Amino acid sequence: MKNQNINPTTWILSYWLFSSGLYIILAALFIIATFTLPIGFYSALRYIVSYSLMWSLFWCIMLHNQAVIFTNEAIGYSILGIKLVIIILFNTFRPFYFSKNVWVIIDIVCAAVMISITIYNFVCICKEQREH
């Protein structure tokens, strides 16, 4: 069996592409959540958001530990912190209960954050492709 070392660039590009699709889906769900919907949607949203971002956070940390360094350390750690805050807000273990107006603001901000991270990911992918 051959030793198949995977290029770190391949890992990071795969992560960025997959997570960007995930962030677009999450942004769409956040925007949908601003409407008045059955409580089941909001319960499902908590699970989807918290577990998706936990997965994303895990892989981001794993790739960083494998010497795949963020394009910009400060921005990378800021994104990790923002994901952690969103995970805490949408956690399923000890949920926060806010009024609908507060949740609408949180949902809009979270949608904007997901879109911003997606744009940042694509800028990093373009930069990575130009360098190689």
pTM for the structure as a whole = 0.82
- Convert the pLDDT of each residue in 3-43 to its tens digit: 455 565 666 677 777 888 899 999 999 999 999 999 999 99
Specify if 2 maps to a domain.
no
Whether 96 is in a domain gets the answer yes
Q: Domain total for the chain?
A: 1
Distance between CA atoms of residues 33 and 100, nearest Å:
10
Going by C-beta distance under 8 Å and a sequence separation of 6 or more, which residues neighbour residue 50?
Answer: 87, 90, 91, 92
Q: Is residue 13 part of a domain?
A: yes
Let me know if residue 26 belongs to a domain. Answer: yes
CA atoms within a 13 Å half-sphere pointing along the CA-CB vector of 117: 30
Residue showing tokens 């925007």: 31
Where is pLDDT greater, at 121 or 109?
109
Q: What is the pLDDT of residue 65?
A: 59
Q: Is 54 contained in some domain?
A: yes
Tell me whether residue 48 is in a domain: yes
Residue 112 falls inside a structural domain: yes
In-domain check, residue 1: no
Domain span holding position 127? 8-131
pLDDT tens digit string along 55-110? 988 887 777 655 454 556 677 778 888 999 999 999 989 989 999 999 999 999 99
Interatomic CA distance for residues 21 and 27, integer angstroms: 10
- How much is the pLDDT for 132? 61
